[in-house]
């Protein structure tokens, strides 16, 4: 089996208008999985809950699977929050997702990407963000992948030395993830659009140091042009850090596939 991108969005997410057909054209010969947003917001945030239309999504996939040789799998990106953990599980129950990503997107007051050092000092952001992530990996045990572990830092410019302030916390998070067979995602949008590749170099080693073997490489594409965004560079980085396998998820179970040797540069 070929490795395939495992984090992308279509018009079934409110922040994308992309179509399955465009991704299908780009992914010929490979599986295709989209991971549409589920996010519950608190009343303080004046933001409507984002709940994927599962029936519409399933119907469209079923229709396209007949036309495109059953290549499409079902995925979801869950923005985990402790107050909503039961609503999240209620939504997931009885749904045949192949892949569940866990993301920490907001803290019940604001979205983490809206902030930078001018609003919240880096150290405070690091502490709050990774406390919530630790709570997430402990409480959301059926998630398959820890997505964009640096999401809350995308608006900050920080060095690995600064990220090390929370190394004990990160180790706890990764240990917990390893125990639950939760993969570490290399989010190429974070790495190369938000300039956080160096933080991923550090995270790969840290996750491996606590026994982690499950890695995914994903573009977080919201438009087809970003499909497999700079995968070649991420594969090279993994190889340089001693990783030679990636994980793909079907029916929420991981399978190892070989780290691709030759991919076209994007």
Measured distance between the N- and C-terminal CA atoms of the chain, rounded to whole angstroms: 21
**Contact string (CB under 5 A) for Zn ion, positions 101-140, x = contact:** --x-------------------------------------
CB of 222 to Zn ion, least distance (A): 7
Which of the residues 206 through 265 are near Zn ion (CB under 5 A)?
A: 220
CB of 15 to Zn ion, least distance (A): 8
How far apart CA 165 and CA 105 sit, in angstroms, is: 21
Check if the beta carbon of residue 258 is closer than 8 Å to that of residue 244: yes
CB of 66 to Zn ion, least distance (A): 27
Which of the residues 47 through 86 are near Zn ion (CB under 5 A)?
A: 77
Which lies closer to Zn ion via its Cβ, residue 12 or residue 215?
12
Burial class (CB in 10 A: 0-12, 13-18, 19+), 222: middle
CB of 35 to Zn ion, least distance (A): 6
Which lies closer to Zn ion via its Cβ, residue 50 or residue 240?
50
Which lies closer to Zn ion via its Cβ, residue 150 or residue 220?
220
With CB under 5 A as the rule, give the number of residues binding Zn ion.
Answer: 3
- Strand duo 245-250 + 145-146: pairing: unpaired
CB of 209 to Zn ion, least distance (A): 26
What is the maximal distance between C-alpha atoms in the chain? 52
Which lies closer to Zn ion via its Cβ, residue 193 or residue 241?
193
Which lies closer to Zn ion via its Cβ, residue 103 or residue 125?
103
Residue nearest to Zn ion (CB): 103
Beta strands in the chain (DSSP E): 32-39, 72-79, 99-103, 145-146, 183-187, 215-218, 245-250, 253-258
CB of 147 to Zn ion, least distance (A): 6
CB of 211 to Zn ion, least distance (A): 26
How far apart CA 69 and CA 59 sit, in angstroms, is: 15
Q: Kindly report the length of the chain.
A: 266
How far apart CA 46 and CA 154 sit, in angstroms, is: 23
Which lies closer to Zn ion via its Cβ, residue 103 or residue 216?
103
Residue 240 contacts by C-beta under 8 Å, 6 or more apart in sequence?
A: none
How far apart CA 112 and CA 152 sit, in angstroms, is: 5
Which lies closer to Zn ion via its Cβ, residue 176 or residue 226?
226
Residues that bind Zn ion (CB under 5 A): 77, 103, 220
């Amino acid at each position: 089996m070929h490795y395939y991108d495992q984090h992308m969005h279509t018009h079934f997410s409110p922040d994308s208008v992309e179509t399955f057909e465009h991704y299908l054209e780009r992914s010929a010969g490979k599986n295709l999985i989209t991971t549409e947003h589920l996010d519950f917001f608190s009343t303080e945030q004046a933001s409507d809950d984002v709940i994927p239309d599962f029936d519409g999504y399933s119907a469209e996939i079923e229709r396209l699977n007949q036309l495109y040789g059953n290549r499409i799998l079902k995925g979801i990106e869950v923005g985990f929050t402790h107050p909503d953990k039961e609503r999240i599980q209620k939504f997931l129950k009885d749904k045949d997702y192949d892949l569940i990503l866990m993301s920490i997107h907001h803290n019940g007051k604001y979205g983490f990407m809206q902030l930078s050092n001018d609003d919240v000092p880096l150290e405070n952001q690091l502490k709050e963000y990774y406390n919530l992530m630790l709570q997430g990996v402990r409480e959301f045990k059926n998630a398959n992948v820890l997505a964009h572990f640096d999401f809350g830092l995308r608006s900050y410019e920080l060095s690995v030395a600064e990220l090390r302030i929370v190394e004990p916390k990160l180790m706890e998070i990764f240990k917990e993830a390893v125990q639950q067979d939760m993969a570490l995602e290399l989010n190429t949008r974070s790495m190369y659009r938000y300039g956080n590749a160096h933080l991923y170099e550090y995270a790969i080693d840290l996750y491996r140091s606590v026994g982690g073997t499950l890695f995914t490489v994903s573009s977080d594409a919201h438009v087809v042009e970003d499909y497999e965004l700079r995968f070649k560079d991420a594969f090279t980085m993994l190889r340089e850090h001693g990783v030679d396998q990636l994980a793909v998820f079907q029916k929420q179970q991981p399978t190892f596939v070989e780290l691709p040797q030759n991919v076209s540069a994007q």
